Structure formats: structure tokens, C-alpha cells
Amino acid sequence: MEQPRHLRVLRDIAAVFVTFIFMFPILWWALTSIKPISAVFDKDRVVFFDFVPTLINYAVTLLGLSRSGIAIDQGIGMGVGGAEAYDSRRAILDSVVVSIGATAVTMAVAVFAAYALSRMAFRGRAGYLNWVLGQRFMPPIAILIPLVTIYKDAGLRDSDSLYGGYLGLMMIYALMNLPIALLLMKSFFDDVPKDVDEAAMIDGATRWQSFSKVVLPMVRGGVAASAVLVFIFSWTEFLLSLFLTTSIRTVPVKIQTFVTSTGNEWGFIAALGTAAAIPSFIFILLVQRHLVRGLTLGSLKE
Amino acid sequence: MASVTLKNIVKKYGDIEVVHGVDLTIEDGSFVVLLGPSGCGKSTLLRMIAGLESVTGGDVEIAGKRVNDKHPKDRNIAMVFQNYALYAHMTVKDNMSFSLVLAKRPQSEIDEKTGWAAKILNLEPYLKRYPRELSGGQRQRVAMGRAIVRDPAVFLFDEPLSNLDAKLRVQMRTEIKDLHERLKTTTVYVTHDQIEAMTMADKIVVMQGGRIEQVGAPLELYDRPANIFVASFIGSPSMNLIDGVVKDGMVDVDGARLALPPGSTATEGQQVVYGVRPETFTAGNDGLAGTIAVVEPTGSETHVVVRIAGREVTAVFRERVSFRPGETITLAPDATQSHIFDKASGQRLA
């Protein structure tokens, strides 16, 4: 049904307005990251665009330069503060390792489990799905204390061994993300008609061949979308990382250390925060189409 | 090429029996259509021949060999599905050659066979395309191409045309029939569309409720339906079935008297159903009188719905007629082309 013109215009304006409201904090964040300290802390007025942009916050957090060194070089007063404490290169590396590892583990398990739940009949299948979903009902903080003791006994904290620490974070992130990845992948597998499996079977494919050569390639968009979601959830996770690690500092935990006893380093917080949002942003753009389809859990039919 | 024999086939899902002992022989090279309303067990039967459903009881034989326990790929069959079931991530050529690749055939043979199939099905310009870039009819042809490259003993079609629009359906019907004429491969074709069945089949198997109602050539079923179900299912518009009682060697329908068809075995006083094909009525003075309710000209013929003593009777006139709703009309059936069934059992009485 074609809507009247004024309604369509009104709808478009509303859409732009709502998007703007949602985007504004991010925009402000990005803007803050390129503001000099004087523009961040102006007690007389709110500074929008009338400042001289600087990349110093990025130089300090992403390249590990010393702020006082830069200040001396450029002959500007930028305040003082420890240099190494704001160098976030190691934190980014930690986050990349943990997030990619967690995503790989999660997807490896979720793809097979979801295929089985979608295609094979076994006792307790429906109950199993509810149970999987139930895992998402419990907030992580509820299991935090037992988890810390379990991890201590299992040697999965980085204070016991660095690799143990990485492994520990990957495992808990994988556990945390498995339910959503599993349900998403199941909905993608469910969207592939069973006739396709049967056609492959008649064509001479074994169960493994029909999975690996036919069904899995048909849901590769779904795999990508689910993997992106898992990656982003792992990338942005704060609570578990904070409690389970000491020397490994993922980016969200690292950012939190910029809130110091001598003041909040808003410029660094904004710079690292903005930089950390960029990969998620790009990934989401790439898989957007599949995400919408997946998150509606098969309720949309083409 | 092979014959297919079904011996007392039973299918149960748990305690529910959906196919009740079906016996059927499908001759080598013939085109057999399983016809029936949805839920009649025709697709289940086809899937049991394919090996996609297990057989609860009885034997499925292909080329004289029992195949109950054989994997679908070892039965030398090919199947075309209602929704095409194409591999969306493969090109047309890869779709068609998938079975040959799995069988590890040499590349030269794969190229030769897919080329041959593409030529037969007019798919040559599309070999490099993906299914999503094809129209419905082209997708259907790819599904058929996938079936014919393997040169199977039996083709199985599961409602292959029901996703197509009406015009394309007629065209593909002809193409499938033509393909069968050329390849002469034994074909089992499932449909709920009696026109498809009538136009394509060498032999139609009419099913209902998990049982075979009648097996025969299309015109045989049309001319001599074995029971009320087949009579009403085959033919469009469907046969008029009029309740009556046999009285003095005639059928009494609310006072109107109709002649018994030749060879009738109906006995005096028996409750019967008198069947008249719409096109065998003539407008006359002797027969069933009623009021015209609806006149539907289709161009080549005119359908006239007449209300006779509370029931609706349809008549089809090939010549141009000038009836109007509200007029009275007397419809005279041609007894030599009429049918008579026992009301209680539904079986033909002739």
C-alpha cells in the first residue's frame, strides 16, 4: 500500500531523528577523542566544533607515546601523567587474542550443535533447547564468586599462568556466548529446507558431505553474522575479565583504569573507546543483512 | 530403466498408520502419477520408494530387487522436489554435476553429461549462473537436469509444479512429458492436481486415506470411475452426484425419473448415487427441472449452475447458450454416459 506523501516524509524525519538520538553519544564520544584537554574541560561553555583537533589521545593510547614528551616537543601545555599507564597496545592485543579465540571456540561448537538440533531427532531435543536458553537467564555476576574459586583451582587465571589466563577468558566467553550462537545458528539451519539435505542424500552425499558441502555453505552468511555477534560480546565484556585476570587487561578493563585518583582522563577514555568501537562497527556493517534475518529467528520469510 | 513394485506397503508413524497395505506395479518406462488430496499418503509412498522414509511393512522392489534397506543413493533413483531443493551456493552446472562429482567421475564425463542435460533442458546460457538469478521455470529445469545427468533407473517427482504460476505450469507440464518421451525413464509423479495427472500420465493411481482407490489410464478413470471418490476427484468441473432410489428400473430423484446406465447392477429399492458429468447434460424437456443460479461463460464453453430441489447441479454447454439466472431449465442426462454408485459403499454398480 502506497502511503500518502506527507506521511512518508514524516516517517523519514522521525527515522532520522531517532537515529540521531541513538548516535549522538557515540558522536560526542568520537568528538571528545580529538579534542584538546582545554576543550574537554571548559567550565564556561559546551564546546561543539570550535576547537583545534588533535590526535594526541590516540598517539598516547594506541602508539604508546608519552604525553609529557609530546607536550615538550610541541611546546604546549598538556598536563602531566604517567606515560606507560596509558599505552593500550598490550590491552588491544589481549582483547584480540581472547575475542578471536572465544569466537572460534564458540562457533566451532555452535555450528555442529545447531546442525544436530536442526536436523537430527533425538530424545529431549525440545527440552535441551529450553535448557540452553535458560543459561542466558542468569546474570554473570551471580556465578562470579564460585567461578573465581573454580578458576583458581583449575589454574585458569593469569596469576597462575599467562596462557591459562587467556584460555580461561576464552572458555568463559565461549560459555557465555554459546546459547545465543547456538540459537542463532539453529534458526539459520532451520531456514534451509530439509529437501536440500534429501536431494544431497539422493545425489550420493553422506551425512558429513551434505553438511560440509551443501548445508553449511548455504548458511555461511549466518555463520558470519553469529561470529560477529559473539566477537562483539567478547570484545566488550567487562565484568568477568575484571575479576578473572590481573596482568591480562582487555580493552574495557583497561579503559576503566583511566579513571584515576587524580582525575578522569576523558580524552584517553574517549580515544580508546572510539578506536575499540571501530572493528565492531565495520563487522556489523558487513553482516547487517544476515543479522536482521538471524535475530528475528526465522520469523521473516522472503 | 527399471520397473518398481510395491508389495503390501505399510507406513506407520508411531501408532498411527498412514499407508495401509499398498500393492502397485509400475512398468518399466511408464509414466505413473500418484494422485490424491493432501494427506492421502501419496508423497509418503514416493518417499518410501526414494528411501527417504523407512518402510514399516511390505517390500519396495526396483528392477526386481528388494531395496527396503538400501540407502537412497544406492537405489539408482533421482528425485525432483516441490521447492526445487537446489544448492543455493552452487552454479547451475555445479548443481547438476554434484552427484557425478561425489561419485568421483572423470571431469570429461562430468562436462559431457552436464552439457547434454543443459542442451536438452535449454539451460546452456545459464550454466554459470546461481539459482537465485533464475526464474521459477528455469530453477525447475535445473532440478530436472540434476536428476537426468545421473541417468537413473527411476525418476521421482514430488509435486514439482505447484510452486509455479498457472501459465508456466502448463508449459513445464509439456516439457516434463516431452522429456519422458525422449528418455523413456520410468517415472513416478506425485500431484494433487487432476489436470496434471490426466494430461501427463500413462497410468493414474488415485489415492485417499492411505489406500489406492483406483488404478488406470486417464480416460479409463474418467469414463469408468470405480467409486464415488474417484468420480468426484477426476474431472473439472466435477461430476454431479445426485442421490436417488431405484424404482421400477429407473432412478427416482425427488420424483424426477432418470434412466439407469447400461449394464447397471443396481437392484430395486437400492439407495444409489447417480453420477452425471456436467458436459453430458442437454437442455431438454425430460429430466431434472430447476432454476438457473449462475451462468459462467469461459469462452470455449459455458458453465451453468442450476438449483434443483435444494441441490446444485452444474452443466457445461459447448455451444453458445443464452441462459440467464432465474430462468427455469430442464437438464436431461445422457444415460449411456451416466454412472451409478451404491450410496452405502460408494462403489460403482455397473
CA distance B128 to chain A (A): 18
The list of chain B residues with pLDDT below 70 reads: 1
CA-wise closest residue to B227 among B121, B86, B345: B345
Give the per-residue pLDDT at A78: 52
ipTM above 0.85, yes or no: no
Q: Tell me the average pLDDT of chain A.
A: 86
What's the pLDDT score for residue A295?
65
Binned at pLDDT 50, 70 and 90, residue A299 comes out as very low
With a cut of 60, say whether residue A302 has pLDDT above it.
Answer: no
pLDDT tens digit string along A46-100? 878 888 888 888 888 888 887 777 766 665 555 555 556 788 889 999 999 999 9
B50, B51, B102 member nearest A204 (Cβ)? B102
Q: Which of A145, A124, A243, A131 is nearest to A178 (CA)?
A: A131
Residue A301 has pLDDT above 50, yes or no: no
Residue A224 sits at the chain B interface (C-beta within 8 Å): no
Q: What percent of chain A has pLDDT over 90?
A: 43
For position A81, what pLDDT does the model report?
Answer: 52
Range A89-250+278-295: architecture per CATH = Orthogonal Bundle (1.10)
User: Are the beta carbons of B82 and A195 separated by less than 8 Å?
Assistant: yes
Domain boundaries, chain A: 89-250+278-295
Over the stretch A124-160, which tens digit does the pLDDT of each residue have? 888 888 888 888 788 888 888 999 999 989 888 888 7
Angle at which helix A266-295 crosses helix A5-33, to 10 degrees, equals 140
Question: Which residues does B contribute to its contact with A (CB < 8 Å)?
Answer: 50-52, 71-73, 77-79, 81-83, 85-89, 98-99, 102-103, 146, 150
Q: Tell me if A218 and B87 make a contact (CB, 8 A cut-off).
A: yes
- Residues in chain A with CB shorter than 8 Å from the CB of B81 are 195, 198-199
* φ and ψ at residue B150, rounded to 5 degrees: -85, -10
Q: Rounded to an integer, what distance in angstroms lies between the CA atom of residue B325 and that of residue A155?
A: 91
Q: What is the mean pLDDT of residues A100-117?
A: 96
Which phi and psi angles does B158 have, rounded to 5°? -110, 95
pLDDT, average across residues A167-196: 92
Sign, CA dihedral A33-A35-A36-A40, equals: negative
pLDDT given for residue A298 in this prediction? 47
Asked whether residue A15 carries a pLDDT value surpassing 50, the answer given is: yes
Query: How close B175 comes to chain A (CA, Å)?
Result: 21
Confidence of residue A300 (pLDDT cuts 50, 70, 90): very low
CB of A203 within 8 Å of a chain B CB? The answer is yes
What domains does chain B contain, in order, with CATH numbers?
Answer: 4-232 (3.40.50.300), 238-342 (2.40.50.140)
Whether residues A202 and B78 touch (CB distance < 8 A) is answered with yes
Look up the pTM and report it. Answer: 0.82
C-alpha cell at A22: 541513538
- B46 contacts on A by Cβ (under 8 Å): none
CB-based contacts of A267: which residues, under 8 Å, 6+ apart? A32, A33, A35, A37, A40, A56, A57
Contact between chains at B73 and A217 (C-beta distance less than 8 A) = no
Read off the pLDDT of residues A241-275 as tens digits, 9 standing for 90 and up. 998 888 888 999 999 888 887 778 888 899 999 99
Q: Characterize B137-174 residue by residue with b for buried, 16 or more Cβ atoms within 10 angstroms of its Cβ, and e for exposed.
A: bbbbbbbbbbbbbbebbbbbbbbbbeebeeeebeebbe
